[in-house]
Chain A
């Protein structure tokens, strides 16, 4: 079955330290991968995507993600965390079915940055 997994419910990092939020996927064909962030009672904001090209993708707010085909991973990273980065992060993957496609989301990882 096609799926996306975020193994960590919560990640805690001190401000200024690097952060990593993990994501692995299982899809047929070439993966289209996304990261979104959600603040309380808000919709999702797009951070970055990987479709093709360089494995290291740079996105909004200083975030980047590395596509690793052999490990089927797409971890989100940031070199220096800010308190304002505290939010809920979702990894997502496009899956194909019939003649259409849809986006499915991981379970989410709550990122908490302490001052």
Chain B
């Protein structure tokens, strides 16, 4: 149980294009999902909190127009990197909080998506 699927695992795109990454909770409902970014040999940096049916809450310094987050259902959140540039190349990881385990704070993570912008 508690599986989070993230797609695609790898994506290479040209500078200036947009890329969408999907995060799905497969066997539980997630009212809240989180998007993290990880640079090589560094920790996870929280980008935004995605809440089902409402606007995402972005961390300080994260451009909301650059990183569009949509959480249209209890099992799906998407992150769209708009007009991607090489500096956006990174490992993006989503996580989801099980609605039934919300009080524990425990998160379940996707496998990550490696974005390379040429």
Residues of A within 8 A of B (CB): 32, 34, 36, 41-46, 49, 51, 90, 94, 100-108
Residue B49, interface by CB 8 Å: yes
Q: Which single member of B42, B91, B107, B112 contacts A103 (CB below 8 Å)? A: B107
Question: Interface on chain A toward B: helix, strand, loop, or mixed SS?
Answer: strand
Residues A32 and B34 in contact in the complex (CB < 8 Å), given A42-B112, A43-B110, A106-B43: no
Residues A107 and B43 in contact in the complex (CB < 8 Å), given A51-B104, A102-B34: yes
User: Are A41 and B112 in contact (CB-based, < 8 A)?
Assistant: yes
> How far apart are the CA atoms of A84 and B56 in the complex, in Å?
38
Q: Which single member of A34, A94, A105 contacts B43 (CB below 8 Å)? A: A105
B33 → A minimal CB distance (Å): 11
Contacts of A94 in B (CB 8 A): 105
